[in-house]
Amino acid sequence: MSSLTEKDRPIVQLLLNTGTCPRCILRFCCVGSQALYRRPYKDLMKDLKEFLKNNQEKEDTVCLDVVDPPCKRIRLEHVEEGPDELSHNGALQQIPSVNDESTAMENSAVKVCNVCLGILQEFCEADFVKKVCHQVNSADYQFTSFVFSVSLPPQLSVREVSVYRYFFITYMRMKESNCGIKLGLSLAKDDIVQLKEAYKWIIHPQLSEELGVPADGKSLFEVSVVFAHPETEEECHFLAAACPDCFKPAKNKQSVFTRMAVIKALEKIKEEDFLKHFPCPPSSPKNLCVALEIQCNNGAVFVAGRYNKYSRNLPQTPWIIDGERKLESSVEELISEHLMAEFKAESFNFSSSGREDVDVRTLGNGRPFAIELVNPRRIHFTAEEMKGLQQTINNSSDKIQVRDLQLVTRSAIGRMKEGEEEKTKTYSALIWTDKAIQKEDIAFLDDIKELKLDQKTPLRVLHRRPLAVRCRIIHTMKAEYIDEHHFRLHLKTQAGTYIKEFVHGDFGRTKPNIGSLLNRTADILELDVESVDVDWPPTLDN
Amino acid sequence: RICVITLAEAHPLLQSGKTIKSINYQISANCSRLQNKVSGKSKRGAQFLTELAPLCRISSSDGEEYTIYSCIRGRLIEVNENILSNPAILQEKPSTEGYIAVVLPKFEESKSITQGLLTQKEYEEVLLKRLNSS
């Protein structure tokens, strides 16, 4: 094994004898060659044995010193110094002598690794890969790449620390002082290959081949596996006693022992405390980890468009009070229904550039909207298919119509919301007056430009909005005389203007208002949105 | 359910011949309805009103003083400051621009409050009875 050098020998020997699997050994030796990890398990085992044997045969003073005598010396010291030194529960166990090497190694070939608990053993094999891919394929998702995310049980961090920090570092220190030789070990923690990283090195190519698509960190399609090891679940608990402030119970987490909390505690805990409660090296478990869940998730897709509303009896979102639906259907349901079916999504989030009341129509180019489809199974749609979808929606209802239906990115939503605050809208209102009017009486309205209004929060929404005064501008108006008590008013206003209140005055809380301008009592009979002046989403040839 | 408090039809102030001299929202040494400040959706900081809480006192030019009561329990959202600057609208448009105050009862009490009020018809019957008995 070319990547292993002389200085690794003691580590390899030590870990092999105490139940660590070959791949974890490679990790602790800071071997960075991905190809090595991908070699079959049996081959790796053989290679390690070869490595140890070869070095033994060489006549190398350093070797001999390092391997043989110190072991015996430690045992001697152990006897001399008596129980005090090693009164810790499970601290530095006796290092088996070189002679036991072969048997120990044979045993460890079948033993579950005491560091990775089988992750770098069983769970790198073709069987597991097949199992994962079977799940993925049966979930029936459309994807062109994948990201594989793995959730490891927190005990692994504890065991890693136990081996790295307390086992062979201490062992090395002892050997250095015993042999009087500087082994020159500069085992920086950062050089050790992380378990997750090594695991991905091994499993990504296998998954990639089986699924037929590349692994890509930025992929929207996520395959996630959660591993657990119930046998050793309680191993972390001693940390709670040693570092109680790291473990705050969070409401939505089942266990307080999250990976992050455990890692934090491991950094804080004092050496003596750790050694008191946790065996070094860690014990070999009886069982492997279990893969609890294998789940697939696709990133959300966004569909945007513009809708027209032709009904005066349709809310934008479902109107349900105390579990009872007050009005049938809604704009969002009529649009989303078909999208949900086609994209096979789990759920949706509907948003639009502003809203209109139940009894207000939306005419003209319509109002921009966007729907986030959560965890869709189908994500690829051509422009043709989108047009077809648009047609389906339009055929299904005469209450709403959609146009410019297209796929957009998440960032595009920002543009739509911008429209809600900043862009102008035009309206058409049918107005009634108590006292008779003549054409001349309303003509002056056409000449009023940039009329400033002060609108207190309308009474009709006051129960659910804060009380405030809004300054809004009516840019232009145009009045169309109908008869002595009716006329139609077209207006272009700033976003956020309450039109109904501008007409009837809302108990005098919107000033000025049509009533005050005409010196009459006025009320609004009908309101239509003529246009929402936002130039998004891009217009398509519909 | 938002409630708007206004003068009832039959209120003396709305009968012909009465002119309003002044309207005062300072109902006691410590309490002025004008100082009512609410914030947020839940209208925190609002003065809480019971049925008999005075909203304002109105003096007419013939020396009479009338106290207008809340009549319902709830948070005081706002009082109508327009009637201070233009008392005429109180008599001209008592049910719209001449309103007295806006009150928001507790959601749970909404229904019971509504049930405790009279409908337009019931009110007219009360007025009739009053006329007939006097």
pLDDT exceeds cutoff 90 at B108: no
Residue B38 contacts A, CB cutoff 8 Å? yes
Which B-chain residues 2-31 have CB contacts (< 8 A) with chain A?
2, 4
Mean pLDDT score, A506-532:
94
Whether the CB-CB separation of A23 and A44 falls below 8 Å is answered with yes
In Å, the largest CA–CA distance within chain B is: 49
Q: Give the span between the Cα atoms of A374 and A372, in whole angstroms.
A: 6
- Across the range A299-311, mean pLDDT stands at 94
Stronger pLDDT, A94 or B10, i.e. the higher one: B10
Give A-chain residues touching B78 at CB under 8 angstroms: 456, 467
Q: Which of A191, A357, A359, A454 is catalytic?
A: A357
pLDDT at A207 over 60: yes
Q: Check A465 against B41: CB less than 8 A apart.
A: yes
* A467 close to B (CB below 8 A): yes
Q: What is the mean pLDDT of chain A?
A: 82
Show the domain range for B110: 3-133
Give the minimum alpha-carbon distance from B83 to chain A in angstroms, rounded to a whole number.
10
Res A56 pLDDT > 80: no
Q: What is the reported pLDDT for A439?
A: 92
Rounded Cα–Cα distance for residues A179 and A67 (Å) = 11
What pLDDT is recorded for position A231?
A: 84
In angstroms, the CA A140 to CA B58 distance is 75
pLDDT at A57: 53
Find all residues with CB under 8 Å of A4, minimum gap 6, and list them.
Answer: A12, A29, A31, A51
Instruction: Give tens-digit pLDDT for A249-296.
Output: 766 656 777 888 888 888 888 777 777 888 777 888 888 888 888 899
Which chain A positions have a beta carbon within 8 Å of B82's beta carbon?
A: 508
User: Inter-chain contact A467–B104, Cβ cutoff 8 Å?
Assistant: no
- Chain B hits for A456, CB-CB cut-off 8 Å, are 78
H-helix segments, A365-518: 383-396, 412-422, 439-443, 499-504, 514-518
Domains present along chain A, CATH in parentheses: 114-235+278-297 (no CATH), 300-421 (3.30.70.2510), 425-532 (3.30.70.3190)
Nearest CA in chain A to B6: A507
Greater model confidence, A37 or A360: A360
Q: Give the span between the Cα atoms of B44 and B77, in whole angstroms.
A: 10
pLDDT at position A277, please? 81
Cα gap A274→A270, rounded to integer Å:
6
Task: Give A-chain residues touching B43 at CB under 8 angstroms.
Answer: 466-467
- pLDDT of A328 > 70? The answer is yes
C-beta atoms of A462 and B102 within 8 A: yes
What pLDDT, in 10s, does the model give residues A343-353? 999 999 999 98
- The answer to whether B103 and B72 have CB atoms below 8 angstroms apart is yes
A466/B102 Cβ within 8 A: no
What's the whole-number mean pLDDT along residues A245-251? Answer: 72
Predicted local confidence at residue A332, as pLDDT: 94
Q: Do A508 and B4 touch (CB under 8 A)?
A: no
Please judge whether B2 and A521 are an interchain contact, meaning their C-beta atoms are less than 8 angstroms apart.
no
What digits encode the pLDDT tens for the residues A153-191?
Answer: 888 888 888 887 766 666 666 666 666 555 445 555 667
Q: Kindly tell me the burial class for residue B77, based on how many C-beta atoms sit within 10 Å of its own C-beta (0-12, 13-18, 19 or more).
A: buried
Yes or no, beta carbons of A464 and B41 under 8 Å apart: yes
Task: Give me the pLDDT at residue A513, please.
Answer: 94
What's the whole-number mean pLDDT along residues B72-91? 90
Distance CA A384, CA A542 (A): 11
Whether pLDDT at A128 is above 60: yes
pLDDT, position A167: 65
pLDDT of residue A256: 75
Catalytic annotation on A84? no
pLDDT score for A189: 61
**pLDDT level of residue A493 (50, 70, 90 thresholds):** very high
Query: Which of A467, A505, A507 is the closest to B4 by Cβ?
Result: A507
More confident residue, A390 or B119: A390
Please state the φ and ψ torsions of residue A469, each to the nearest 5 degrees. Answer: -115, 130
Residue A448: pLDDT band (50, 70, 90) is very high
Q: Looking at beta carbons, which residues of chain B come within 8 Å of A507? A: 4, 80, 96-97, 99
CA angle centred on A197, ends A196 and A199, rounded to 5°: 65
Lowest mean pLDDT among A416-425, A480-489, B112-121: A416-425
Confidence grade of residue A405 (pLDDT, cut at 50, 70, 90): very high
Do A176 and A170 contact (CB within 8 A), yes or no?
A: no
Taking CA–CA distances from B101, the nearest residue in chain A reads A507
pLDDT the model gives residue B8: 84
Tell me what pLDDT residue A497 has. 92
Average pLDDT over residues A508-526: 93
What's the N-to-C CA distance of chain A in angstroms? 66
Q: What is the mean pLDDT of residues B90-102?
A: 90
Q: Is A468 on the interface with B (CB under 8 A)?
A: no
Residue A351 to residue A342: CA distance in whole angstroms: 19
pLDDT at position A259 is 82
Structure tokens at A223: 């395959």
CATH code, B79:
2.40.50.100
Q: Return the closest-CA partner of residue A278 out of A165, A414, A406.
A: A165
Res B114: pLDDT: 84
Higher per-residue confidence, A500 vs A252: A500
Residue bearing the bigger pLDDT, B61 or A244? B61
Tell me the average pLDDT of chain B.
Answer: 87
B56 to chain A, minimum CA–CA distance in Å? Answer: 18
- Report the domain count for chain B: 1
Nearest to A463 among B2, B39, B99 (CB): B2
pLDDT greater at residue A93 or residue B117: B117
Count of beta carbons in the 10 Å neighbourhood of residue B33: 22
- Judged by CB atoms closer than 8 Å, whether chains meet at B40 and A463 is answered as no
Chain A nearest C-alpha distance from B132 (Å):
33
